[in-house]
Structure 1
Amino acid sequence: MSFRNDFVWGAATASYQIEGAYDKDGKGRSIWDEFTHTEGKISDKSTGDTACDHYHRYKEDVKLMSELGIKAYRFSIAWSRLLPDGTGRVNQKGIDFYNSLINELSAYGIEPYITLYHWDLPYALHLKGGWLNDDISDCFELYTSIVAENFGDRVKNFITFNEPQVFTGCGYSEGSHAPGYRLADKDLLRICHNVLKSHGKAVRALRKIVPDVKIGFTSASSPLVPMADCDIEAARSAYFSCGKGNFLYSQSFWHDPIIFGRYPEKILNDYADVFPKATDEDMKLISAPIDYIGLNIYTGSFVKAGKDGCAQQVSCRPGHPRTAIGWDIIPESVYWGTKFYYDRYKLPLYITENGMSAHDCVSLDGKVHDPNRTDYLNRYLRELKKSAEDGADIRGYFQWSLLDNFEWACGYKERFGIVYVDYETQNRIVKDSGYWYRSVINENGENL
């Protein structure tokens, strides 16, 4: 059995990680521009100033997608490229760039999926409080309206936010990502509520301007994998747990308000004294219907039920395989993550990111041989197909990433692409895994 006949086979990127041209053609600065230009923030002391130079090489990159048979391309808009100050004046050259990219995709029959926010907040808005400023949701609605008005005639699929768990957790709690803050829970809860209100206002703007739009919200997810059937309910319960100390990375904290119109009861009780005021109007706004959920799944954890019925994490055996970045390879995480999500929320699902960092290099024959990535993708896609066969409504898969790119705090140390990038020459080389992925697309997963 294959995936559904209209299954979406894609690849994904993010603006700051590939575009470069950080100060060209009227673009404003983002928090990542500032963060990477601050000493000691990036492990290899690099920046995204040039990255993959996709801003100037997008035609070459779109042609590569076409050659690999990719049917859909998920990319993000750099907010400060359109609105240098985050609001107010519109930068026409930024509009022109994304129009040209979308038109190029259309010329090759590749469906664009736009992510509105993939972490690069305009620095001008950051100086006004950023996500701590309660007015940020109005700014996001304005930005979304400009995107919709300019691109909505050709783009019908939009994702409002990518991985709010990570940009709030790493950026505002742990301090390892831009803007590098370590805030108290009271402030973090306020940020999260403002993000969710921004999501709701973006949905409102998209529905108003693009009548046939399809809207999603993408979550970072490291699913809990039950060791045996008797552990399934413990894994499920722990996977959606939400309380003091774990709310930023919780699955239910972000999706329950969007799907059910309410925050998990435990988080409200745990933080009754500091939780931001969530009015009925807020919750109605946040829970405006969406069309699908995106899940970014790379790894997970094995669990079993303890004597009290609660999930206990089971350590991987010594020598368990890991990717170059150090993440455990657990293909079953895709099966259980999509199963648990579909059981709970009953919405169509896309894997909006999945891939592997590997120690890639150009071999003597001038090619990039990455059998470990091919094996990784094969194993994860087999588990995704199993989930679809068992009843989860899986609509598509976006491999992360099309190109090697700037990997946030790791700089250029990690290579996730199915296309190799020489950052000095900007030469692109399709890796063996890219050609393998082409065959999977051509056969709609029958060969997995």
Structure 2
Amino acid sequence: MDNKFLWGSATAAYQCEGAWNEDGKGLSNWDVFCHSEKNNVNPVTGDVASDHYHRYEEDIKMMAEGGQNAYRFSIAWTRILPNGVGEVNQKGIDFYHRLIDTCLKHEIEPLVTLYHYDLPQKLFEKGGWENRETTDAFEEYAKVCFKEFGDRVKYWMTINEPNYDTLCSYAIGNYPPNVQSLSRRWHAMYHLMLASAKAVNTYRKLGLNGEIGLVSDSYSIEALEDTPAYNQAKKNADLFFNRSVNDVCVYGHYPEQFIQKLVSDGVDTSYMFEEDKKIFQTGTIDFLGINAYDRILVKPYTSGETILTNNNTGTGDGPKAVIKDWFEFDDDPTTEKNPWGMEIYPKSIYDLLLELKALYPTTPVIITENGIGNYDKFINGEIKDPYRIDYLKGFIENMLEAKTKGCDVRGYLVWSTMDLYSWINGYEKRYGLVYVDFDNENQRTPKESYYWYRDFIRNYEE
């Protein structure tokens, strides 16, 4: 593999492509959810989104002009296999060929995620990730993509954020299927991890010249007090958020303490088949993609039933969690937060990378997402976003400091390439380096942060 450091940005199919029912694309769970009465927090859809499907050439050219040499995007499963299985949609294949070719023309490395939240509706109706058959369907879908695009794509990622995806879908309940059940969450998450391992095994059998990983939202777990009870809460939260994903894809097995916690919670684990152990053991990753945004502060569990909330309205409240017999979220009143309650704490990426190096010393890391959402204002043809520049600068400096301590970090991708549909946060929560005027034919305008990032990359020397 090329040793150049990857500096780029990232998107996901449903969030930016639009063209939700064009060129033979099938329905995803997000298409259906967004058109339903359940979509009642910010009732908008990804039907058009950033219109990347029609404007990808403009977007990729802008990346190249911004000094970026890498673009992480996801493939919409429903463009390739409209029903999730069965017939292949050639027009969908053709679109991603054009997208990949355009990246390579502009000397941008494509990093491709196979699954980023958008499940074919036909599979969703059969139980989605709680149905073991979905893992086989994913393996078949992955095989089609590997065969079609594997000659030019050298970096693959199987699943985006098994933790956060299932947390929202099955615990907070703000993503489809909108349920609140930790036991169902663990069931779905197990199948996501199994699907990833199956896809990795398939990739290896094809003998392609590239690397394959998984994208994990991982966190430096911290506490405001150093006591046995607080330290136990930290260990529990590390299992809950990080090691229940990372140990599985790096080492090929679940942590014993994690399984013990499930058993003590009375979780039915009968879906964990003995024969899956070999699939996990052989389906380990080449690199770990890390989506790093903030740390998680915890304190000991005190009382009450499990409850998780998230701020999707930008009112300033932070996320809340009480996980019965595990931990509770804590808050540091001295730190700055964005309007969605996300703590701005750049040192978290340094602490996280050192923890990952200690746990997985031979596994390289790519920062597959890092960024901040805010209410950006378009004034006199400009978008000044000094808060984003400060945030990115702080995280990049801490990442580079971790590299000097021996952390094997291979790349850094800003979330996001352009403004896009931020799931049920809608369109007001903007993450992009490029402003998208959603009310004016999706016109693009680079933000101040785009130019800062361009200049930073130009001046960077390894």
- Name the TM-score, length of structure 2 as normaliser: 0.87
| Letter aligned with residue 215 of structure 1 | I
Cα deviation, 1:274-306, whole Å, max 9, x if unaligned, reads 11343443122123231111111111145799x
Check conservation: 1:42, 1:411, Cα contact below 8 A: no
| Greater CA drift, 4-13 or 320-329 | 4-13
Cα deviation, 1:221-240, whole Å, max 9, x if unaligned, reads 23224779xx6999987555
Give the drift of 1:177: 0.8
- Report the CA distance shift for 1:234/1:292 in structure 2 as closer, same or farther (over 3 A): farther
- Report the CA distance shift for 1:278/1:208 in structure 2 as closer, same or farther (over 3 A): same
Give the drift of 1:57: 0.6
1:337 aligned to 2:352? yes
Q: Which of these residues, 375, 378, 384, is aligned with residue 359 of structure 1? A: 375
Q: Tell me which residue corresponds to 1:86.
A: 84
1:209 aligned to 2:225? no
Give the drift of 1:250: 2.0
C-alpha separation between the residues in 1 aligned to 2:370 and 2:425?
Answer: 18
Segments of structure 2 that go 5 or more residues without pairing to the other structure are 301-325
Check conservation: 1:152, 1:210, Cα contact below 8 A: no
Q: Tell me which residue corresponds to 2:406.
A: 391
| Greater CA drift, 349-358 or 35-44 | 35-44
Q: Which of these residues, 169, 179, 185, is aligned with residue 188 of structure 1? A: 185
Segments of structure 1 that go 5 or more residues without pairing to the other structure are none
Cα deviation, 1:406-447, whole Å, max 9, x if unaligned, reads 00111112000010000122100000100110111112268x
| Letter aligned with residue 353 of structure 1 | E
Q: Which of these residues, 196, 199, 209, is aligned with residue 196 of structure 2? A: 199
C-alpha separation between the residues in 2 aligned to 1:115 and 1:78?
Answer: 9
Q: Which of these residues, 262, 269, 272, is aligned with residue 278 of structure 1? A: 272
Q: Tell me which residue corresponds to 2:259.
A: 268
1:411 aligned to 2:426? yes
Cα deviation, 1:25-81, whole Å, max 9, x if unaligned, reads 110000000111112525331100000010011111111111101110000000011
| Equivalent residue runs for 1:370-381 within 5 Å | 370-381=385-396
Q: Tell me which residue corresponds to 1:428.
A: 444
C-alpha separation between the residues in 1 aligned to 2:182 and 2:329?
Answer: 27
C-alpha separation between the residues in 2 aligned to 1:49 and 1:416?
Answer: 19
C-alpha separation between the residues in 2 aligned to 1:226 and 1:80?
Answer: 42
- Report the CA distance shift for 1:10/1:210 in structure 2 as closer, same or farther (over 3 A): farther
SS in 1 for 2:290: strand
Give the drift of 1:312: 9.6
- Report the CA distance shift for 1:192/1:431 in structure 2 as closer, same or farther (over 3 A): same
C-alpha separation between the residues in 1 aligned to 2:407 and 2:330?
Answer: 26
Check conservation: 1:44, 1:413, Cα contact below 8 A: no
1:154 aligned to 2:149? no
The number of residue pairs the alignment matches comes to: 430
- Report the CA distance shift for 1:115/1:233 in structure 2 as closer, same or farther (over 3 A): farther
Q: Which of these residues, 163, 170, 173, is aligned with residue 172 of structure 1? A: 170
C-alpha separation between the residues in 1 aligned to 2:101 and 2:379?
Answer: 35
| Letter aligned with residue 220 of structure 1 | D
Q: Which of these residues, 118, 123, 126, is aligned with residue 125 of structure 1? A: 123
Q: Tell me which residue corresponds to 1:9.
A: 7
Q: Tell me which residue corresponds to 2:96.
A: 98
| Letter aligned with residue 450 of structure 2 | G
Check conservation: 2:418, 2:431, Cα contact below 8 A: yes
SS in 2 for 1:373: helix
| Greater CA drift, 296-305 or 387-396 | 296-305
- Report the CA distance shift for 1:176/1:184 in structure 2 as closer, same or farther (over 3 A): same
| Equivalent residue runs for 1:11-26 within 5 Å | 11-26=9-24
Q: Which of these residues, 207, 216, 219, is aligned with residue 216 of structure 2? A: 219
| Equivalent residue runs for 1:56-95 within 5 Å | 56-95=54-93
Check conservation: 2:219, 2:241, Cα contact below 8 A: no
Give the drift of 1:329: 0.2
| Letter aligned with residue 429 of structure 1 | T
Cα deviation, 1:289-344, whole Å, max 9, x if unaligned, reads 31111111111145799xxxx999763235x3222322110011101111101110
| Letter aligned with residue 353 of structure 2 | T
SS in 2 for 1:250: helix
Check conservation: 2:11, 2:415, Cα contact below 8 A: yes
- Name the TM-score, length of structure 1 as normaliser: 0.90
SS in 2 for 1:397: strand
1:250 aligned to 2:244? no
- Report the CA distance shift for 1:445/1:123 in structure 2 as closer, same or farther (over 3 A): farther
C-alpha separation between the residues in 2 aligned to 1:235 and 1:72?
Answer: 40
Check conservation: 1:115, 1:158, Cα contact below 8 A: yes
Check conservation: 2:233, 2:299, Cα contact below 8 A: no
C-alpha separation between the residues in 1 aligned to 2:427 and 2:444?
Answer: 15
- Report the CA distance shift for 1:42/1:16 in structure 2 as closer, same or farther (over 3 A): farther
- Report the CA distance shift for 1:63/1:234 in structure 2 as closer, same or farther (over 3 A): farther
Q: Which of these residues, 290, 293, 296, is aligned with residue 291 of structure 2? A: 296
What percentage of aligned pairs have identical amino acids?
40
Q: Tell me which residue corresponds to 2:30.
A: 32
